[in-house]
Amino acid sequence: MTRLDFIPGTMCDERVWATLRPHLPAGCSARFVPLQQATSRRAMQQTIARESGDPAHLVAFSMGGYLALEHALSHPGQVASLTIIAASARGLGEQEKTQRLRTLELLARAPFAPMSPARLAQFVHPERLQDADVVGVMQRMYDTLGGEVLVAQIRETMDRPSLVERLPEITCPVLIVGAEQDRLVEVADLQEMQRHLPQAELCLLPQTGHMIPLERPRALGEAITRFLPRTGAA
């Protein structure tokens, strides 16, 4: 049985993958990397190294996708495949950095509060904003993980140097999954990643926002199922 190691994004835990699991191949097991327990960048990197297989089939979302690329560059012999979901090798855009700095400033002077409707709208396609299976899960993860996790994850992952020039060093098969309406990750960034990675394929999902695992679990599962035979995993 092939083990897939799932790495979550900012303010996410294993719940972000719950609706994807039924759409994974029958011969796969899932292990969830508890990235939310790490309070420093180094601890995040150590958690990925400790909790993932050797060789690992990493399935990583958003912030977790960037960290998975870092892990593959640091541990080239330990990664059998990468599935990178809604993540750019260029790190955060300037608008998102500004938003996160504002969040840190707000948390320094006010109590932690639920995610605002305006912030939710930045992550989710407009057609899914009333979908409890998407927004409800996001809000519950956000509320459960709380302010300390949010501050740690923003502070420790704000600095994301571009990895684009190093991508040719990643020689394992890579599946890049993106959303055409993602307001955080540009399609052009994903296309650039595909050009620089020696064994990469790109899957773009229409009518979808940033929260691909929650918004389009079936389509994501189908993409992973098609990809895995290339990796020798299934």
The superfamily in CATH containing domain 2-93+156-231 is Alpha/Beta hydrolase fold, catalytic domain (3.40.50.1820)
Q: What is the pLDDT along the chain (234 residues), one digit of tens a residue?
A: 899 999 999 999 999 999 999 999 988 999 999 999 999 999 999 999 999 988 999 999 999 999 999 999 999 899 999 999 999 999 777 888 888 898 889 888 888 888 999 989 999 999 999 999 999 999 999 999 999 999 999 989 888 899 999 999 999 999 999 999 999 999 999 999 999 999 999 999 999 999 999 999 999 999 999 999 988 775
Measured between alpha carbons, how far is 131 from 91 in angstroms, rounded to an integer?
Answer: 29
What is the structure's pLDDT at 149?
95
Taking the model in full, what pTM does it have?
Answer: 0.95
Write the DSSP assignment of 156-211 as a string of letters: HHS-----GGGGGG--S-EEEEEETT-SSS-HHHHHHHHHHSTTEEEEEESS--S-
> What are the structural domain ranges in the chain?
2-93+156-231
